[in-house]
C-alpha cells in the first residue's frame, strides 16, 4: 500500500539526519521533497503545498529544546498532518433508523456491489445486524445476478425485481419488505455508469429524495487517482453524501485519492476495501493509515485482525495437542488457514513496523503458502500425524503430487520438526534452549 510514497517520504526525512536542529535552510529541502512525494502520489498540487506550509510553520515554531531529534520531530509533524488530511478521527456509519437505509453510489466498476456485500457481511457478523441487500440496477440484469451471488455467499437475503424498471419503486418495496420481515439494515446497490452523466445523477438523486437514507455512501476506486477526486466532487454536489468508501487499496495505488478526497469534498473516508474477498473490508482510521504511509506499520490493526480470527476453544485444543506432542500437519494447515483469513501477505507485512523497508524489492506472493499447502495436501493422513514415517520414496511421491521439489519437501519437514520442538519447549518454559533453537533455525 502506497509503497512509493512511503519510500519518498522516508528519503525526505533523511535530509535532516545528522542535523542538530531544524532551521529554515534544512527544513526547506525536506519540505520540497515531501511536496514532490505527495504530488507524485497524485495529490493535488495545492493540497500538497498547503500541507508543507503547515508542517513548516509548526516545525519552525517548535521549541529547540524538544527531546526529539529533527528527523523524529519532522516525522511526528508529518504524521499529524497526514492524519488531519485524511480526516482526523475515524467516523462510523449511522445505523439509527429502523430499518437503517444505506444508499450506495458510484461509477460502474468502482466496487459498489462487492462493497455492498462486504458491508452486509460486516454488519451481520460484527454488529449482529440483520441486513437486506437490494439490487437497483434496472439496466444490467447481470448486475442483479452478481448481487445474488454475493448474497448467497454471505448468507444475506437479496431483494430484487427484474420486471420493475423504476429503481425508486424497487427501493420503496424493499424497505417495506424489510419492515415487514424484521430486517434492521437495508443496503441499496444502485446502477453505475462508466462516467458521470446526467441521467445517472438524476436517477440516484430521485432514489435519494424518495427514501431519505440514513447514510449515503460514495464508493470509489482508489486506483483512479485524481479522477477519483473529481468524481467524488460531482456526486457530492448532487447527493451531499455522508462518507466515502475507497476500494482496491490492496492494488498498486499511489494514494492520492486517500490523501485528497477529504479536503475536496469535506466528507470522511469511512471504510476501505483491500481485496476481492468478502472479508477484505476495514474501518478507515486516518491515524493508522498515516503510520502505515510513514513505514511505522499498524500493529493495532494487526492485533485486531488476529483477535478476530482467534478461537479460544481451538487454541485450547491446540495447546493440549502440543503438550502431548501430537501437533501434526493438519493442525499446521489450520494455522495457515487462520493467518490467510487475516488478509493477504503483503497487507499483513505492511502492518509490521519497519518490515516494508527490510523486505523491499522482495516479491511477496499474495498466496505465500501455496507451496506449503500443496505439499501437505499431498501427504496421506498417516503422514500428516506422524511425519517421521516420511522416508525418501514418500518424499518423492509428495513432491510429485504437489508439483514441488524434494528439496522443498525436505525443507518443510525440517522446519516443521524444529517448530514442533520449539512449541514443546515453550510449554515447558525452556527459554534458553529455545533461543538456541531459534538461532539454529535462522
Ligand atoms: N483488488 C480488489 N478488487 C476489488 C475490490 N473491490 C472490488 N473489486 C473488484 O472490482 C471489480 C468491480 O467490482 P464491482 O463490485 O462489480 O463494481 P460495481 O461498482 O458494482 O460495478 P457495476 O455493478 O458494474 O456498477 C470486481 O472484479 C471486483 O472483484 C477491492 O477492494 N480490491
- pLDDT mean values, one per 10 residues, the chain (442 residues): 76 75 79 88 88 88 64 83 84 88 92 95 92 91 91 95 89 95 94 77 91 94 85 92 91 77 90 90 88 71 70 75 79 81 72 64 67 90 89 93 91 86 64 54 48
Q: What CA–CA distance (Å, rounded) separates 222 from 244?
A: 11
- CATH of 100-293 among 3.90.1150.10, 3.40.50.720, 3.40.50.300, 3.30.420.40: 3.40.50.300
191 is in an annotated binding site: yes
303-441 CATH pick, 2.70.240.10, 1.10.10.10, 1.10.150.650, 1.10.260.30:
1.10.260.30
How far is 267 from 245, CA to CA, in rounded Å? 11
* CA 129-132-136 angle, 5° bins: 145
The ipTM estimated for the assembled molecules is: 0.96
| Cell numbers 429524495: residue | 209
* Cα 112 to averaged position of ligand 1 atoms, centre (Å): 6
Ligand 1: residues with CB < 6 A are: 106, 108-114, 143, 192, 247-248, 250-251, 273-276, 280
Distance 310 CA to ligand 1 centre (A): 29
C-alpha cell at 318: 491446540
Q: Which fold has domain 3-85?
A: 1.20.120
**Does 246 show up as a binding residue in the annotation?**
no
Closest residue (by CA) to atom 4 of ligand 1?
A: 276
Q: What letter would DSSP give residue 4?
A: H
Ligand 1, atom 29: closest residue by C-alpha = 276
> Does the annotation list 38 as a binding residue?
no
Distance 237 CA to ligand 1 centre (A): 24
Reduce the DSSP state of residue 329 to 3 states and report it.
helix
E strands in 368-411: none
Is 68 annotated for ligand binding? no
Q: Is 403 annotated as a binding residue?
A: no
- CA of 106, closest atom in ligand 1: 19
Mutate to test the pocket of ligand 1, among 203, 224, 249, 276 (most ligand atoms within 8 A of CB): 276
Ligand 1 atom closest to 273 (CA): 31
**Who's near 189: CB < 8 A, 6+ residues apart?**
104, 112, 113, 116, 133, 134, 135, 136, 137, 143, 147
CA–centroid distance, residue 324 to ligand 1 (Å)? 47
> How far, in Å, is the centroid of ligand 1 from the Cα of 392?
47
**Which of 298, 285, 227 shows the shortest CA–CA distance to 86?**
285
113 marked ligand binding residue: yes
Mutational test site, ligand 1, from 1, 103, 106, 113, max ligand atoms within 8 Å of CB:
113
Q: What is the DSSP letter of 181?
A: T
Residue 254 · residue 225 · CB < 8 Å: yes
Q: Is 108 annotated as a binding residue?
A: yes
Instruction: Quote the cell numbers at residue 206.
Output: 430521485
| Domain locations in the chain as residue ranges | 3-85, 100-293, 303-441
Rounded CA-CA distance 63/19 in Å is 15
Same fold, 3-85 and 303-441: no
- Our mutation pick for probing the ligand 1 site, out of 106, 111, 148, 194, counting the most ligand atoms within 8 A of Cβ, is 111
What value does the CA radius of gyration of the chain take, rounded to a whole number of Å?
Answer: 26
CA 221 to CA 120: how far, in whole Å?
A: 19
Residue 110 Cα, ligand 1 centroid: separation in angstroms? 6
Backbone dihedral angles phi then psi of residue 278, each to the nearest 5 degrees: -65, -20
Please indicate if the annotation marks 292 as binding a ligand.
Answer: no
Asked, as a colleague might, if the bond just before 162 is cis with ω within 30 of 0, I would say no
The answer to whether 105 and 239 have CB atoms below 8 angstroms apart is yes
Q: What separation in Å is there between the alpha carbon of 114 and the centre of ligand 1?
A: 5
Ligand 1 atom showing the smallest separation from residue 110 Cα: 19
Amino acid at each position: 500500500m502506497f509503497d512509493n510514497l512511503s519510500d519518498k517520504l522516508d528519503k525526505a526525512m533523511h535530509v535532516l539526519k545528522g542535523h542538530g536542529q531544524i532551521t529554515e535552510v534544512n527544513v526547506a529541502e525536506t519540505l520540497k521533497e515531501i511536496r514532490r512525494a505527495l504530488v507524485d502520489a497524485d495529490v493535488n498540487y495545492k493540497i500538497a503545498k498547503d500541507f508543507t506550509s503547515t508542517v513548516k510553520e509548526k516545525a519552525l515554531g517548535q521549541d529547540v529544546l524538544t527531546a526529539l531529534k529533527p528527523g523524529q520531530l519532522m516525522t511526528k509533524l508529518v504524521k499529524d498532518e497526514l492524519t488531519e488530511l485524511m480526516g482526523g478521527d475515524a467516523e462510523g456509519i449511522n445505523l439509527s433508523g429502523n430499518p437503517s437505509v444505506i444508499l450506495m453510489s458510484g461509477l460502474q466498476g468502482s466496487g459498489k456491489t462487492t462493497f455492498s456485500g462486504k458491508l452486509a457481511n460486516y454488519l451481520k457478523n460484527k454488529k449482529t445486524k440483520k441486513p437486506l441487500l437490494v439490487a437497483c440496477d434496472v439496466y444490467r440484469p447481470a448486475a442483479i445476478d452478481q448481487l445474488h451471488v454475493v448474497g448467497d455467499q454471505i448468507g444475506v437475503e437479496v431483494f430484487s425485481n427484474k420486471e420493475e424498471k423504476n429503481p425508486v419503486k424497487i427501493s420503496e418495496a424493499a424497505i417495506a419488505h424489510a419492515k415487514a420481515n424484521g430486517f434492521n439494515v437495508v443496503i441499496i446497490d444502485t446502477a453505475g455508469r462508466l462516467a458521470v452523466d446526467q441521467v445517472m445523477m438524476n436517477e440516484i438523486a430521485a432514489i435519494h429524495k424518495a427514501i431519505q437514507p440514513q447514510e449515503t455512501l460514495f464508493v470509489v476506486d482508489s486506483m483512479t487517482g485524481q479522477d477519483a477526486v473529481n468524481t467524488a466532487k460531482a456526486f457530492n454536489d448532487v447527493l451531499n453524501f455522508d462518507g466515502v468508501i475507497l476500494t482496491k487499496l490492496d492494488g498498486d495505488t499511489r494514494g492520492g485519492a486517500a490523501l485528497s478526497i477529504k479536503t475536496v469534498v469535506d466528507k470522511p473516508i469511512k471504510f476501505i476495501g483491500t481485496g476481492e474477498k468478502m472479508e477484505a473490508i476495514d474501518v478507515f482510521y486516518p491515524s493508522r493509515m498515516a503510520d502505515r504511509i510513514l513505514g511505522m506499520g499498524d500493529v493495532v490493526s494487526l492485533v485486531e485482525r488476529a483477535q478476530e480470527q482467534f478461537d479460544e476453544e481451538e487454541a485450547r485444543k491446540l495447546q493440549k495437542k502440543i503438550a502431548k506432542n501430537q501437533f501434526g500437519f493438519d493442525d499446521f494447515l489450520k494455522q495457515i488457514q487462520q493467518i490467510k483469513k487475516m488478509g493477504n501477505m503483503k497487507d499483513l507485512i505492511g502492518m509490521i513496523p519497519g518490515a516494508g523497508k527490510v523486505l523491499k524489492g522482495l516479491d511477496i506472493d499474495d498466496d505465500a503458502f501455496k507451496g506449503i499447502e500443496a505439499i501437505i495436501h499431498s501427504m496421506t493422513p498417516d503422514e500428516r500425524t506422524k511425519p517421521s514415517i516420511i522416508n525418501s520414496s514418500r518424499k518423492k511421491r509428495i513432491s510429485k503430487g504437489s508439483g514441488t521439489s524434494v528439496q522443498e519437501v525436505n525443507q518443510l519437514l525440517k522446519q516443521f520438526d524444529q517448530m514442533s520442538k520449539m512449541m514443546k519447549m515453550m510449554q515447558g518454559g525452556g527459554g534458553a534452549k529455545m533461543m538456541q533453537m531459534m538461532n539454529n533455525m535462522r
